[in-house]
Amino acid sequence: MRYGVRPLQRLLRSRPRTGGLVPIAATAFSRAAPLQSPSYASVSAADLQFGQPVHETHPHLLKPGELTPGISALEYAQRRSKLASVLPKDGIAILAASHVKYRSGAVFYDFHQDSDFFYLTGKSTADDDHTFHLYLRPKDPKVEQWEGSRSGIQAAVDVFNADESGDIKDIEKQLSRLIGDSSEVFTDASPSTPSASAFSRLFASKTSHNPQGLATLLDKKSVKPLRNILNEIRNIKSDAEISNMRKAGQASGRAFTEAMRQAWAAEKDLTAFLEYKFKRNGCDTSAYVPVVAGGKNASQIHYVRNDDMLMYATSSIGTIAPINATSSEGDLVLADAGGEYGNYITDITRTWPVSGTFTTPQKELYNAILATQRTCISLCRADASNSLDKIHQIAEASLKDSLSQLGFDMSGNALETLFPHHLGHYIGLDVHDTPGQSRKNPLQVGQCVTVEPGIYVPNTDRWPAAFRGMGIRIEDSVCVQEESPLVLTTEAVKEVDDIEALRA
């Protein structure tokens, strides 16, 4: 088998360039002069190792032409072209990869690539009408014995289709040249945060390699944020992106339904089951830290301790009532979790009775929330011209009316107390995708959002006794289409009859 991405590179490079981009494990994209196509030697894929899967080494994960699961090398090139097309002549965009974060000493956290960097390059490890520069760490057999394979500098060209590459250690010198030749610089790299990477800190001050420092050099340039530009590009999902999110939603939804079939004694057991099933059903990992909240814990929106008991446990010495139990067999459990496939996430919340059977008050409140969610999902279509903010207002009106019918006093700040969060947010590579994107604009075809009404009833005299202490949220991931929504998480059952039938 011969290494297969190089013919695609020749195709991409046959077009003239007028500009460029720089990712950096770091990368840059710039509107610059054309580059000559390099000549390639034929190398057996069996002799190559990279820092992430390619089709030739992992055909069970990647189809021919795919750079990451479900996304082709051509689509990544088209994304870079789209970004380059909105840059001014001789403009440059600079993005940095995420850096490894350490828990203590040499013990590191799971690595998660910066979403903008990944979106434009397809590079998941730490490490057109434009020029694409990608700077990586070189191959190092001694380090790789401990940390795993690195892609190496040549892979920037051979795998990720960069036009120019180099050692990340030389990035300051290379960026000085690129920035010096540019008309405007677009970047979100900032040295101001405590966790800023070494690359970001290059922008902060003078260094021994460059006494003027990149910060000084940038003072002479027009520097603009990249965030809004990338939000506009990332916000509309391609068919391939939606397919990945559907796969994540399907696998995760099935995991939820499987979980509802069983009785769970502890939050941590349910948490472990969901995370295992996400992977077992085809996801790469969990999309975020799950919320698994029994009883009154569900009133904490981002409860992630997941360490309480869900019901009385039975052992050889009889029934044990845990001292720290906050729920009982008559309570509900709320689970907010989802898997990730090809770096694309899904976001699901389901609430169901620990015992498998709803009490009458639980059923009444649950169905009120479910009816609101159904209405809101039906409005996630382009021809309705609704924004997320508008649909949130519709949800508020629906919940207020339903709760009034259930005997709630909805005067004053009642709704804000009972429904304290927004109805939904954008999703994609991130759980809260395209940060800063307005929720005031009408939804467009290809946008993906969550729809998650929830009611959290404090255990106080202001509220009807039958509902005190309940926390119920129902959430699905939805893709906006022209005339109807595409629910990405439909495999997670949510009708009362369907939930109860699982344990019948």
Say if residue 20 is exposed, middle or buried (CB neighbours under 10 Å; 0-12, 13-18, 19+). buried
The DSSP secondary structure of 286-319, one letter per residue, reads ESSPPEEEEGGGGGSTT-----SBSS-EEETTEE
* Location of structure tokens 């279509």: 381
DSSP state of 472: E
* Cα distance from N-terminal residue to C-terminal residue, the chain: 54
* Distance from C-alpha of 20 to C-alpha of 182, rounded to nearest angstrom: 10
Q: 232 in the Ramachandran plot: left (φ > 0), alpha (ψ -120 to 50) or beta?
A: alpha
- Vertex 460, ends 455 and 461: CA angle to 5°? 115
CB contact at 8 A, 438 and 247? no
138 CA to centre of own chain? 29
The tens place of each residue's pLDDT in the chain, 504 residues long, gives 223 333 222 222 222 233 345 554 566 666 554 444 444 445 555 467 788 888 888 999 999 999 999 999 999 999 999 999 999 999 999 988 888 888 888 888 888 889 999 999 997 765 545 789 998 989 999 998 988 888 899 998 988 889 999 998 888 888 888 888 898 999 887 655 545 555 666 665 544 454 455 667 777 788 899 999 999 999 999 999 999 999 999 999 999 999 999 999 999 999 999 999 999 999 999 999 999 999 999 999 999 999 999 964 444 444 444 434 444 558 999 999 999 999 999 999 999 999 999 999 999 999 999 999 999 999 999 999 999 999 999 999 999 999 999 999 999 999 999 999 999 999 999 999 999 999 999 999 999 999 999 999 999 999 999 999 999 999 999 999 999 999 999 999 999 999 999 998
* Distance from C-alpha of 2 to C-alpha of 376, rounded to nearest angstrom: 51
CB contact at 8 A, 299 and 255? no
* Distance from C-alpha of 347 to C-alpha of 349, rounded to nearest angstrom: 7
* Distance from C-alpha of 25 to C-alpha of 134, rounded to nearest angstrom: 7
* Location of structure tokens 């010096």: 180
The DSSP secondary structure of 106-175, one letter per residue, reads TEEPPP---HHHHHHH---S----SEEEEEEPPP-HHHHHHH-----HHHHHHTT--SEEEEGGGHHHHH
pTM: 0.87
**Phi, psi angles (nearest 5°) of residue 28:** -140, 145
Q: 310 in the Ramachandran plot: left (φ > 0), alpha (ψ -120 to 50) or beta?
A: alpha
* Distance from C-alpha of 236 to C-alpha of 240, rounded to nearest angstrom: 12
**If DSSP codes are grouped into helix, strand and coil, which group holds residue 446?**
coil
Closest CA relative to residue 458, chosen from 444, 469, 445, 447: 469
